[in-house]
Amino acid sequence: MLICEGWATGASLHEELGVFVMVAMDAGNLAPVAQAARRLFPDAEIIIAGDNDESGTGQAAAQNAALAVGGKVLIPQQSGVDWNDILTMEGAA
């Protein structure tokens, strides 16, 4: 399962990958949502699809959420973008 910050990102990830996505609505809610997901789905692989914020907020929140639940982190390589940006760029998959 994937957990991300925003609704548009969650919709793009689900459309592109066809997997279950939970939306935290903001970086500060990633860890609580991940913890709820772990309680509901104790055997699931949890991947936090974090934002690559120039401030570092999204990356830090994603890392903390993943650590809290034994999950993994997936961050776009390009600074200042999220997965919705990557998936909706012209010419994207």
> Quick one: pLDDT at residue 93?
52
Assess contact for 58 and 52: CB atoms under 8 A. Answer: yes
> Quick one: pLDDT at residue 33?
98
When computed from its CA atoms, the radius of gyration of the chain, rounded to whole angstroms, is: 12
> Quick one: pLDDT at residue 13?
97
Residues 6+ apart with CB under 8 A from 15: 87
> Quick one: pLDDT at residue 22?
98
pLDDT in tens, the chain (93 residues): 999 999 999 999 999 999 999 999 999 999 999 999 999 999 999 999 999 999 999 999 999 999 999 999 999 999 999 999 999 986 555
Place of tokens 């890392």: 63
Assess contact for 35 and 68: CB atoms under 8 A. Answer: yes
